[in-house]
Amino acid sequence: SYNRPYFKNIQDVGGYTRAALEHGQWYQYDDCPRARLFREWQGMVNDTESMMRIMTSNHWKTDPLSENCPKNAIAGRYDLPYQPRSDSDYQACGPVKAYGAIDCKVTSSSLLEEDSRVLM
């Protein structure tokens, strides 16, 4: 999930269209940081373990797509302190909060077929 509405009418009603015009890509379904990260990494998934690694990843310090913000990751973290490089970094990333990626659930069609109750 990008945590952005896909359908245009929901984007409009939810204020995402207006917010994207005012604040840029953060509010755009196709161009928010998580969308760009998923596009870049989707070819690296070949089993449930690799999917779990990607879904729990946060390389905000080294991945330029994260734009120096721990929230801009697949496993976005709002609780990590960071050093904004500029006022615009702080405005884009915002203050530290007690919020973010705390769990991840990954399964596969083969586990479903086996009627497995195991969560990765």
Q: Where are the domains of the chain?
A: 1-31, 32-113
pLDDT above 70 for 24: yes
CB 74 within 8 A of CB 55: yes
pLDDT tier at 108, thresholds 50, 70, 90: confident
pLDDT exceeding 90 applies to what percent of the chain?
50
pLDDT 10s digits, 27-45: 999 999 899 999 999 999 9
Average pLDDT rounded to a whole number, residues 99-111: 85
**Phi/psi-derived region of residue 47, left when phi > 0, alpha when psi is between -120 and 50, beta in every other case:** beta
How many CA atoms, within 13 angstroms, populate the side-chain half-sphere of residue 114?
Answer: 9
Instruction: Please give the pLDDT value at position 12.
Output: 97
User: Which has the closest alpha carbon to 61: 41, 43, 84?
Assistant: 84
What does the pLDDT average to over 14-33? 92
Q: Which of 1-10, 65-74, 79-88 has the lowest mean pLDDT?
A: 79-88
